[in-house]
Amino acid sequence: MARISIFGIGYVGVVAAGCLAKDGHDVIAVDVDPGKIDAINAGLSPIVENGLDDLIKDVVDAGRLTATNDVEYAVNNTDASFVCVGTPSAPDGSVGLKYVDVVCQNIGEALAKKDAFHSVIIRSTIVPGSCENTCIPTLESASGKKAGTGFGVGYYPEFLRESTAIEDYYDPGLIVFGALDDGTRAILTELNENLNCKIHTVDLRTAEMVKYTSNTWRAVKVTFANEIGNIAKSCGLDGQDVMEILCSDLKVNMSPYFMRPGFAFGGSCLPKDVRALRHLAAENNTPAPLLNAVLDANEAQIVKAEKMVASSKASKVGFVGISFKPGTDDMRESPLAELASRLIKSGVAVEIYDPFVHEAYANDNSTAGRGNDVVPDLKERLNPNLTAMIDGSDMIVVGNIYKDTLSELDAAISNKPMVDLTRISRNRVTGGGYDGICW
C-alpha cells in the first residue's frame, strides 16, 4: 500500500483522498482552508457528493485519512504527492497555473529537506507543456534536485463526473498517465491495476492533451446537440428524437451522455478548458474556428433561454436547479446561475429550488455556494419547498431534473407558464404555456 499526500481538498482532491483511503492507502489531505481541514478531521465531507459523507467518515474513523496545512509534514510522511488544486481561467482565457505553481513551490521546498525519493503527481487540468514548462522548473528550483532522478514527476488526469464521482472512480472509462521515472510509473500502475479498464501509459504532454481533448469533446458534443435541436425545432421537428436516432449508431463509439439537446454547458471544467485550448491554438498560430464557435454557441443558448423567459413578462420566476448540473452543489460557471443573474439585473425577482445547494447551506459547509459569483443573496433566494416556490412564482424555469419533482412540475404546467431547459417529460413539446428550449 502507498502513502499519499493530496494537495487541494476540493472536488477532485477529496474524492481521491476518500477512495484511496478506502482502498487501504494512508492519505494525508493538505489545504490552506481551515474549514476543509476541520471537516475532514471530524469525519465530514467538505462538499456535497453522493456517498462521500459515509466514505469520509469510515476512512477517518479507520485512521487512514487525516488533513493538515503542514506541507513539510505531509511530504515527509508520504511517498507521493497529488496536486489537485484548481486551474481557473486567466483573464486572457489561458489556463491559470498560479495555484499549481504555489503548491509546486511549497512541495519543492519540503523536498529540499527530504532524503528519500518522492513523486510529485499533477492531477490538476493543465494544457500540454505545463508540467515541463511550469511544474518541473518550479519543483527543481525550490528543491535543488533534478526531476526524474532527485524526485519523481507524473501527470495523472481525472475523468470523474460530479454526482457520480465515486462510481466513476471504481468504474473508469479511461485511465491515462505520464511519468518521467520508473518509481512514479510503478506507483500509478499499482493504484490502477485492479480496475477494469485499460491503462494508457504515455508521456507527460500526451496525458495533458488527452485530458483537454476529453473535456473539449464533451463541450463540443453538448453544443452540437443543442444546435441540431434548435434547427430541428425551427423545422417543426423534435431535436431529441433526431439525436437519439443518431446516437443509436454505436459502431463509431458514440456516447449518448452529452448528445442530448438542452441548455448550455457549465461547471469547473468544460468552459475554462475550451478557453484554454483555444488560447493554446492561437499561441501556436493554429486556426481553431470550432472552438471559437463552441463558446459563442454556448453563450447563444443562454441568450435564447433569457429571451424565452423575458417574452413571458413574468415579474417573479422560480428556478428548479441553480448548480451547473443536478446531483451537486457546484455553482462554478453554472449557466443557470448566469441566466438567473441576468434576469435579476433586469428587475425580475428570482427564487430557487435546488436541494443540493440548499443542503450545503443547511449543513453550514465551508464551501456552501461554491463557485457562485453572479447570483446575489443566493442563500436567501433558496426555497426548500417546491410547492411554495411554484405557487409564489409567475413562471417556472426548469434547469435541472430531480426525479422527485417531475410529477409536480408536470401537473403545474396546466396553470403556470414554464420554460423547460432539460425536459421533464418526453411527452411534452412546445405549446400552450409550456416552452421547451429544443423541442
pLDDT at 250: 78
342 marked among binding-site residues: no
211 marked among binding-site residues: yes
Q: For residue 178, what is its C-alpha cell? A: 505520464
pTM across the whole model: 0.85
C-alpha neighbours within 13 Å on the C-beta side of residue 383: 18
pLDDT at 252: 60
Report the DSSP beta bridge partners of residue 67: 29
125 marked among binding-site residues: yes
Q: Please say whether the dihedral angle defined by the alpha carbons of residues 241, 246, 248 and 253, taken in this order, is positive or negative.
A: negative
Report the DSSP beta bridge partners of residue 199: 175
316 marked among binding-site residues: no
pLDDT at 254: 66
pLDDT at 16: 98
Give the count of beta carbons closer than 10 Å to the beta carbon of residue 388.
13
411-418, long-range: CB < 8 A, 24+ apart: 416/390, 417/312, 417/314
Helix (H) or strand (E) holding 104: helix 98-111
331 marked among binding-site residues: no
379 marked among binding-site residues: no
Domains of the chain, with CATH numbers?
A: 3-202 (3.40.50.720), 203-259 (no CATH), 297-436 (3.40.50.720)
Contacts with 404 (C-beta within 8 Å, 6 or more apart), sequence order:
none
286 marked among binding-site residues: no
Q: Per residue of the chain (439 residues), what is the pLDDT tens digit?
A: 999 999 999 999 999 999 999 999 999 999 999 999 999 999 999 999 999 999 999 999 999 999 999 999 999 999 999 999 999 999 999 999 999 999 999 999 999 999 999 999 999 999 999 999 999 999 999 999 999 999 999 999 999 999 999 999 999 999 999 999 999 999 999 999 999 999 999 999 999 999 999 999 899 989 989 989 989 999 999 999 999 998 888 776 567 777 789 999 999 999 999 999 999 999 998 888 988 999 999 999 999 999 999 999 999 999 999 999 999 999 999 999 999 999 999 999 999 999 999 999 999 999 999 999 999 999 999 999 999 999 999 999 999 999 999 999 999 999 999 999 999 999 999 999 999 999 9
- At position 142, the amino acid (one-letter code) is A
Distance CA 352, CA 379 (A): 9
pLDDT at 224: 87
88 marked among binding-site residues: no
325 marked among binding-site residues: yes
Active-site annotation holder among 84, 104, 269, 438: 269
216 marked among binding-site residues: no
Contacts with 340 (C-beta within 8 Å, 6 or more apart), sequence order:
319, 322, 350, 352, 374, 375
269 carries an active-site annotation: yes
151: which DSSP letter? B
Distance CA 247, CA 256 (A): 6
State how far Cα 79 lies from the chain centre. Answer: 28
272 marked among binding-site residues: yes
